[in-house]
Amino acid sequence: MKNKKFVIVDAMALAYKAYYAFINHPLTTSKGEPTSAIFGFATQLLKVIEEENPDYLAIAFDSKEKTFRHERYANYKSSRQEMPEDMVPQIKRIKQMIDYLNIPVYIKPGYEADDLVGTAVKKAEKEGMESFAITPDKDYMQLVTEKTKIVKPGRRADEIKIYDVKMVEKEYGFKPKQMIDYLALIGDSSDDIPGVKGIGPKSALPLIQKYGSIENIYKHIDEIEKAGIKKKLLEGKENAFLSKELAQYVAMYQSK
């Protein structure tokens, strides 16, 4: 007997990805109504539904309220610009489409879609389901397990890439759960997560591969031979642990 499948979508991440995929050649209706985000969102969603034929489907939205991450770090997502004017009506249309298709929507004040998706797939795992999270954001790789995969949209509206454990390890060079440690070091400009100043991907990767986590890196800080790297790590220790906290999804229920 096959395991049941669960698909969940980070709505705003997918909508923005679709919108900017057509930024140079925006799509419109015959009346001039913008439809780039709508088209891309629908195409990606329907493609996954067609290919995976899920038993359960849900859409996750960010809440408008600030989260604990904003309280912990005032600059969190501070550089993000307002939603493009022509995208506002498209989000409304996307919500109408979701409602028309009768797809359950997850949204909770004070939580991001990341937290909702993370909570949902972990719950699905406990119930023996195979899960697919549709999102272009790399921080979601922390959720990948033998039962949970990330579906990453490509440049074309009908192009997708599915990340399982092996794919994450092949592309990034470390285990899925170590993504938050990697981001703790290099930061994440899309969310204004600071990371450790001066530590980029080339410096971070061998550290993660050797020590596994930032906790272990600092536990063995005296073993790091490169004086420059060691100095940067010591100076950026506070930001490293803060960044890991900001990058990690927060479960909305207590595990038993």
Q: Which residue segment(s) compose the domain that 48 sits in?
A: 5-172
Burial of 123 (0-12, 13-18, 19+ CB in 10 A): middle
Query: Structurally, how many domains does the chain consist of?
Result: 2
State pTM to two decimals: 0.91
Same domain, 181 and 115: no
131-134 CB contacts, 8 Å cutoff, 24+ apart:
131/5, 131/6, 131/7, 131/8, 132/5, 132/6, 132/7, 132/8, 132/48, 132/52, 132/54, 132/162, 133/7, 133/8, 133/9, 133/10, 134/7, 134/8, 134/9, 134/10, 134/14, 134/44, 134/45, 134/48
Q: Would residue 146 count as lying in a domain?
A: yes
Report d(CA 194, CA 243) in Å as an integer.
Answer: 6
Same domain, 106 and 204: no
Q: What is the CATH number of the domain that holds 59?
A: 3.40.50.1010
Residue 234's region, left for phi above 0, alpha for psi from -120 to 50, else beta, is alpha
Count CB atoms within 10 A of the CB of residue 116. Answer: 25
Q: Quick one: average pLDDT of 107-127?
A: 94
Task: Give pLDDT, residue 158.
Answer: 63
Q: Would residue 254 count as lying in a domain?
A: no
Q: Quick one: average pLDDT of 160-175?
A: 96
Same domain, 45 and 125: yes
Task: Give pLDDT, residue 1.
Answer: 62
Band of the pLDDT at 157, cuts 50, 70, 90?
low
Pick the range with the lowest mean pLDDT from 56-65, 98-107, 179-188, 245-254. 245-254
Q: What is the CATH number of the domain that holds 208?
A: 1.10.150.20
Number of residues that make up the chain: 256
- Say which DSSP state 22 is in: T
Among the candidates 143, 172, 201, a domain finishes at: 172
Q: Would residue 252 count as lying in a domain?
A: no
Query: Strand, coil or helix: what is 198?
Result: coil
Task: Give pLDDT, residue 255.
Answer: 43
Same domain, 21 and 94: yes
Q: Would residue 255 count as lying in a domain?
A: no
Task: Give pLDDT, residue 253.
Answer: 58
Q: Which two tokens stand for residue 11?
A: 């709505």
Q: Quick one: average pLDDT of 146-167?
A: 88
Same domain, 38 and 151: yes
Give the tens place of pLDDT for each residue, 38-86: 999 999 899 888 988 999 999 999 988 888 899 999 999 988 889 999 9
**Positive or negative, the Cα torsion across 222, 223, 227, 232?**
negative
